């Protein structure tokens, strides 16, 4: 795969060999060996033109990228698990904090930042709804979820989250602002500008699974527009993460999908911002004063973390990063209706 990627980027076997610090003979031999093993041509040569990947090699390379993108959350979790096990064995003073959270690039960065300060975040990535349910069922201490910055009290988001979040029981912790938008191929060939452009003929969409905050964003728009899922070509085609959606678009298997800017940039895609949202961390009130949660708050409030977060494409540190926030203030779902004056 590295050889194929090098040939694609360099435009010739000689340049690929130089970039990989290998001999031309070795690269040539390896490509020929794999062509023989696979029974398919990997490189196409035409007189007077640079070497290029065959259609089969292109598909092979994109399939590998897609597999990596789909497995990224599990790989991150496994890496953290190994790191945590070693650290807990050799450093009794280190803390462990169990996490269920919607997959987010900033959380992966936070996991690395916290590990440097002997705080190990044992993160299991899932949808926002499943993350809060895991918290309520006692399967974790902290959950991560995202919601629009200005949620309506009558929105689908409110209907989904309100039964799961309880004032007096849950405590919000400020984390990050980020942008959700459409990820598209370079140059935006379909000239997509907003969600209604998903209805354009020939536009193939990649969705996120039910229970994810990103899926809620799309379903909310469909509800507001009076449309059914059948109006969106590809609504039933799902990928487990922003990275996996981006990989499908980059491979040409789809034209667009909802996601975050950092995932789009990693795959060389263009990004059309649509909606600002807050990514929140949440725990039970009873866990707020525990040493791991207090240490996490200190990491979040540190200048080192805030600077690191602000460098991520499409992210901005919340000014309340690490601070406990009011559910009532940020989610107006529990505000009782005003009483009518007696007549």
Quick: pLDDT tens for 94-117.
788 999 999 899 998 999 899 888
Of 44-48, 200-204, 211-215, 329-333, the least confident: 44-48
Instruction: Check whether residue 24 and residue 148 sit in a common domain.
Output: no
Instruction: Check whether residue 81 and residue 40 sit in a common domain.
Output: no
Instruction: Check whether residue 24 and residue 110 sit in a common domain.
Output: no
What is d(CA 255, CA 192) in angstroms, rounded to the nearest whole number? 10
DSSP symbol at 127? -
* pTM, two decimal places: 0.74
- Residue spans of alpha helices (H) in the chain: 2-10, 13-19, 24-38, 55-90, 105-115, 128-136, 156-161, 213-225, 242-250, 261-266, 291-301, 303-310, 327-330
DSSP symbol at 238? B
**pLDDT given for residue 294 in this prediction:** 96
Instruction: Check whether residue 217 and residue 148 sit in a common domain.
Output: yes
**pLDDT given for residue 32 in this prediction:** 87
**pLDDT given for residue 179 in this prediction:** 93
**pLDDT given for residue 312 in this prediction:** 93
Determine how β-strand 95-102 pairs with β-strand 142-148: parallel
Read off the pLDDT band of 73 (50, 70, 90). low
Tokens of 13: 């076997």
Instruction: Check whether residue 215 and residue 119 sit in a common domain.
Output: yes
Number of CB atoms found within 10 A of residue 138's CB: 8
Instruction: Check whether residue 24 and residue 87 sit in a common domain.
Output: no
CATH code for the domain of 263: 3.40.190.290
What is d(CA 174, CA 194) in angstroms, rounded to the nearest whole number? 28
What is d(CA 87, CA 94) in angstroms, rounded to the nearest whole number? 7
Instruction: Check whether residue 8 and residue 108 sit in a common domain.
Output: no
Asked if pLDDT for residue 89 goes beyond 70, the answer is no
Quick: pLDDT tens for 109-140.
999 899 888 898 888 888 999 999 999 999 99
Of 24-33, 145-154, 253-262, 328-337, the least confident: 328-337
Instruction: Check whether residue 49 and residue 82 sit in a common domain.
Output: no
Q: Which one has a higher pLDDT value, 306 or 19?
A: 306
Instruction: Check whether residue 109 and residue 156 sit in a common domain.
Output: yes
Quick: pLDDT tens for 263-317.
999 889 999 999 999 999 999 999 999 999 999 999 999 999 999 999 999 999 9
**37 within some domain:** yes
Domain assignment of residue 85, given as a range: 71-330
User: Could you identify the residue written with the tokens 């209706």?
Assistant: 337
Residues 6+ apart with CB under 8 A from 159: none
**318 within some domain:** yes
What is d(CA 267, CA 270) in angstroms, rounded to the nearest whole number? 9
What is d(CA 41, CA 62) in angstroms, rounded to the nearest whole number? 16
**336 within some domain:** no
Residues 6+ apart with CB under 8 A from 139: 98, 100
Average pLDDT, the chain: 87
What is d(CA 183, CA 107) in angstroms, rounded to the nearest whole number? 20
User: Among 270, 148, 124, which residue's Cα sits nearest to residue 221?
Assistant: 148
**294 within some domain:** yes
Asked if pLDDT for residue 336 goes beyond 70, the answer is no
Asked if pLDDT for residue 78 goes beyond 80, the answer is no
State the helix-helix crossing angle for 291-301 and 303-310, rounded to 10 degrees.
60
Asked if pLDDT for residue 254 goes beyond 60, the answer is yes
**62 within some domain:** no
Of 2-11, 143-152, 248-257, 323-332, the least confident: 2-11
Contact, 257 vs 248, CB < 8 A? yes
Read off the pLDDT band of 224 (50, 70, 90). confident
* Domain count of the fold of the chain: 2
Instruction: Check whether residue 34 and residue 171 sit in a common domain.
Output: no
Q: Which one has a higher pLDDT value, 258 or 64?
A: 258
Burial class (CB in 10 A: 0-12, 13-18, 19+), 19: middle
Instruction: Check whether residue 40 and residue 86 sit in a common domain.
Output: no
Asked if pLDDT for residue 343 goes beyond 60, the answer is no
State the helix-helix crossing angle for 303-310 and 105-115, rounded to 10 degrees.
150
Instruction: Check whether residue 136 and residue 259 sit in a common domain.
Output: yes
Q: Which one has a higher pLDDT value, 321 or 154?
A: 321
**340 within some domain:** no
CATH code for the domain of 24: 1.10.10.10
**pLDDT given for residue 56 in this prediction:** 84
Buried b (16+ CB within 10 A) or exposed e, 216-238: bbbbbbbeeeeeeeeebbbbebb
Contact, 21 vs 12, CB < 8 A? no
**110 within some domain:** yes
User: Among 273, 139, 306, 127, which residue's Cα sits nearest to residue 194?
Assistant: 273
Q: How far is CA 98 from CA 92, 166, 176, 280, in A?
A: 17, 21, 19, 16
**179 within some domain:** yes
Buried b (16+ CB within 10 A) or exposed e, 308-319: bbeebebbebbe
């Amino acid at each position: 795969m590295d050889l194929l990627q090098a040939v694609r980027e360099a435009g010739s076997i000689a340049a690929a060999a130089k970039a990989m610090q290998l001999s031309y003979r070795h690269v040539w031999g390896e490509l020929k060996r794999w062509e023989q093993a696979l029974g398919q041509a990997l490189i196409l040569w035409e007189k007077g033109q640079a070497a290029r990947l065959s259609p089969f090699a292109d598909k092979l390379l994109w399939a590998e990228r897609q597999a990596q993108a789909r497995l990224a959350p599990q790989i991150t979790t496994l890496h953290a698990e190994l790191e945590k096990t070693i650290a807990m064995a050799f450093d009794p003073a280190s803390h462990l904090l169990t996490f269920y959270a919607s997959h987010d690039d900033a959380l992966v960065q936070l996991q690395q930042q916290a590990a440097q300060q002997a705080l190990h975040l044992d993160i299991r990535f899932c949808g926002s709804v499943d993350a809060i349910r895991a918290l309520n069922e006692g399967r974790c201490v902290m959950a991560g979820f995202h919601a629009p910055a200005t949620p309506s009290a009558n929105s689908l988001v409110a209907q989904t989250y309100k039964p799961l979040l309880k004032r007096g029981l849950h405590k919000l912790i400020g984390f990050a602002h980020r942008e959700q938008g459409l990820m598209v191929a370079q140059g935006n060939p379909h000239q997509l500008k907003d969600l209604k452009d998903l209805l354009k003929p020939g536009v193939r969409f990649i969705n996120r699974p039910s229970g994810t905050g990103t899926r809620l964003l799309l379903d909310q728009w469909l509800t507001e527009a009076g449309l059914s899922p059948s109006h969106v070509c590809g609504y039933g085609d799902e990928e487990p993460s922003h990275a996996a959606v981006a990989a499908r678009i980059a491979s040409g298997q789809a034209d667009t999908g909802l996601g975050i800017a950092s995932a789009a940039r990693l795959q060389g895609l263009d990004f059309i911002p649509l909606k600002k949202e807050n990514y929140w961390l949440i725990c039970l009130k009873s866990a707020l004063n525990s040493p791991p949660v207090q240490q996490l708050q200190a990491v979040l409030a540190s200048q080192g973390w805030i600077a690191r977060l602000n460098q991520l494409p499409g992210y901005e540190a919340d000014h309340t990063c690490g601070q406990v926030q009011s559910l009532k203030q940020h989610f107006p779902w529990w505000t009782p209706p005003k009483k009518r004056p007696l007549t």
